[in-house]
Amino acid sequence: MARSKSPAPKRASRAAPAAKIALTELSDNTQLGVACVVLAAAWYQSSGGKLSLGSFGASTAAGFDVTVPAEITGNVPGWSDLLGTGFNLVLILHVFNTIQNNMGGGGYWLNNFAQTVIAGFAGVILPAIMSGGNMVNAIFANPGTNFSLTSFFFAWYLMNHDIPFCPVEFDLWGKVTGFGGHALDVLLGFGSNVFTTNLIVAAVGTSAGACFTTSWFQAIAMGIITGTAASFFPFNKGVKFAVSDEATHAMASSIFIASDGFAIIDFFTGVVLWFVKTYTMNVVDLTGNATITTIGAEINKAILPHFGGAAAFVVTMSALNYLFGDLLSESFEQINLKPGFDGFGILSFVLGKCQLE
C-alpha cells in the first residue's frame, strides 16, 4: 500500500503555476501579498483587533480561530446552521492542503480517503497511540472542535469529484484553484506549516526538565516524532528517522522549546566554564560570573516576552520564514534562509561540528 503524502511545512514557493484567469494573472510577489492580506484580516479578526507580535503569536498558536461577523451569519440564509459562527482557519487550510496533495492516482476510493486522513493527522494520531490511547479512537477522533471527521469526508469528496447529480460536469475544486492560483497555494502551505508546528509545540509540552535529563530527551523525541509522524505509517516499518526539512524543523523547534529558549546557551556555557575551572585547578573560575552564565536568560528576557514565550516564538518565526524566507533570500545575497524554524541552519552547523550528521 503506497504511503500517503503528508503536507510538508515548507516555505512558500514563489513559482506561480500557469493559469489564465483571476489572481493567477498577477505577479508572484503580488499573489504573495494577497495571501498576506487574507492572513492579516484573519489575524485582526481572531485577535480582537490587536495587531502586535504577541497577538500574532497567540493567534497563530490558536490557529486563527476566526469568528464570522454577524453581518454574514445574520444575513446569509443557512450559514449558521451549516457552517457555524466560527472556524479554525489553520485547520481548514491544512485540511484542503492535505487533500490536494493526495488527490488522483486512482485506486479504491476508501484507501485514498484513509491514507489522506493519516497524512493529515498522523501528528495527532501517533502521539495519542504512543500515550496509551486506543488506536481506533485516535484515528476516528474529530480533527477539531468545529470540524468533524464527517466534515473532512465531505471536503475530500467535493475536492476529488464533480458535484453529484449536476446536469453538467462541475469541478468545484478546479474552479477554486483556477481562481486562487499561487496565492491559494501560499495559504494552503501556511496552514500545514502552522498546524504541524503547533502539534510539535504541544508534544514537547512545558515540563521537559533541565537540559540533557531523561525528561528533556523524551520531550524532544515526542516533538520530532509528532512533526514527522506520517513517515512512521504503516507501523510495520518500525521507527526510522530520516534526514529531511521536516525532521530538521521538528528537531530545532523541540530543542528550543524543551530548553527554555535561548537558555540552552547558558547550559553549554556552564559546561565549558566547569571544564576550565577543573583543568586550571580553580585558578580560572568564572562559574559565578552572572554576566557570562546568564547570557541566554537575558536574551530570553529581551526577546521572548514580545512573542508570548518560547513556544509562540517558534510558531511565529516558522510562519514568517515560510511566508518571506525565499523572498528575503532572493533579495539579499547575504541571506540564505533554510525552511522551518532553523532558518539560519544553526542546528545543522552544531550537529555537524559534533559529528552528528
Distance CA 286, CA 271 (A): 11
pLDDT for position 7: 64
| 97 touches 114 (CB < 8 A) | no
Whose cell is 498546524? That residue is: 195
Beta bridge partners of 67: 86
Q: Quote the DSSP letter at residue 240.
A: -
The more confident residue out of 20 and 238 is 238
| 252 touches 234 (CB < 8 A) | no
Rg (CA), the chain: 23
pLDDT for position 15: 47
Average pLDDT of 325-334? 87
Containing 297, the helix (H) or strand (E) segment is: helix 295-307
Average pLDDT of 288-307? 92
Residue 327 reports pLDDT greater than 60: yes
Residue 227 reports pLDDT greater than 60: yes
Q: Which of 39, 29, 27 is nearest to 316 (CA)?
A: 39
Q: Which backbone phi and psi does 258 adopt, to 5 degrees? A: -65, -25
pLDDT tens-digit readout, 36-57: 999 999 999 888 888 888 899 8
Distance CA 180, CA 174 (A): 10
pLDDT for position 16: 44
| 94 touches 192 (CB < 8 A) | yes
Distance CA 353, CA 346 (A): 11
Contacts of 182 (CB under 8 A, 6+ apart): 14, 15, 16, 17, 23, 24, 28, 31, 32
pLDDT tens-digit readout, 111-165: 889 889 989 999 999 888 888 888 888 888 888 777 888 889 988 988 888 777 6
Q: Which percentage of the chain shows pLDDT scores above 70?
A: 86
Which three three-digit cell numbers place residue 79? Answer: 450559514
Residue 10 reports pLDDT greater than 60: no
The more confident residue out of 170 and 294 is 294
pLDDT for position 96: 93
